[in-house]
Amino acid sequence: MDLKLSGNFYTRGVHTVAKELLGKLLVRGIKGSILSGIIVEVEAYDGSIDEAAHTFRGRTARNEVMYQKGGVLYVYFTYGMHYCCNVVTGKGNEGKAVLIRAIEPVQGIARMCINRFSKEEITQKEYTNLTNGPAKVCKALGIGRKENGTVLTGQEIYIIDRSVPSGEEIGVSKRIGIKKSVDLPWRYYIKDNRFVSKK
């Protein structure tokens, strides 16, 4: 039976949570319908030692949510046009979170196509392009500024436990798109999955 992850899943270490999020189902309940996808790529951010984390230089209005107790969503706006979402981890006041970089669409795919491309009929290329990047995930699932701070044990956004199919391997690499702390091997992904943004 599928079960929503409870608060104590998220209050653990950021790398433990990051790795365990792979293979689980991210669910977006919106206007009575369900959009969902399997998490296939994540990155860990740890403000205590990681210059690329938004919390590295301490508390600001923008990163406030990242200091909350694990189990809330930290959504930030970047490059003047994109939103990206993170799962906050830890016992509180830690400034650590896991960036959701890619999902494999499961439910509500037609809705996701409309959210991303403003049409329901898409090509194979566009299908691969639907949710293979952090801002694409947010666009497809309808996650934006209003969702910042959303509690993951509610009805709007939550994650369902799901056993990872045998044979799937986890890859580890440096993170993507950052200019500081570039060598930390804090990106985790499911090998050979079509929706992983980069090998």
Which residues contact DNA by CB under 7 A?
43, 45, 52-55, 57, 60-63, 66, 74, 76-82, 84, 86, 97, 99, 116, 129, 133-136, 175-180, 197
3-state DSSP assignment of residue 15:
helix
CA dihedral 72, 77, 78, 81 (to 10 degrees): 140
Query: Which residues in 77-87 are b (16+ Cβ under 10 Å) and which e?
Result: eeeeeebbbbb
How near is the Cβ of 161 to DNA at its closest, in Å? 23
How near is the Cβ of 105 to DNA at its closest, in Å? 14
Q: How many CA atoms lie within 13 A of 79 on its CB side?
A: 8
How near is the Cβ of 169 to DNA at its closest, in Å? 22
How near is the Cβ of 22 to DNA at its closest, in Å? 16
**Nearer residue to DNA within complex by CB, 124 or 166:** 124
3-state DSSP assignment of residue 126:
helix
**Nearer residue to DNA within complex by CB, 57 or 155:** 57
**Nearer residue to DNA within complex by CB, 4 or 15:** 15
H/E run at residue 45: strand 33-46
End-to-end CA distance of the chain: 33
How near is the Cβ of 92 to DNA at its closest, in Å? 17
**Nearer residue to DNA within complex by CB, 145 or 166:** 145
Q: Where do runs of H (alpha helix) occur along 22-158? A: 109-117, 124-128, 134-141
- In 108-198, where do the E strands start and end? 157-160, 170-173, 187-190
**Nearer residue to DNA within complex by CB, 25 or 52:** 52
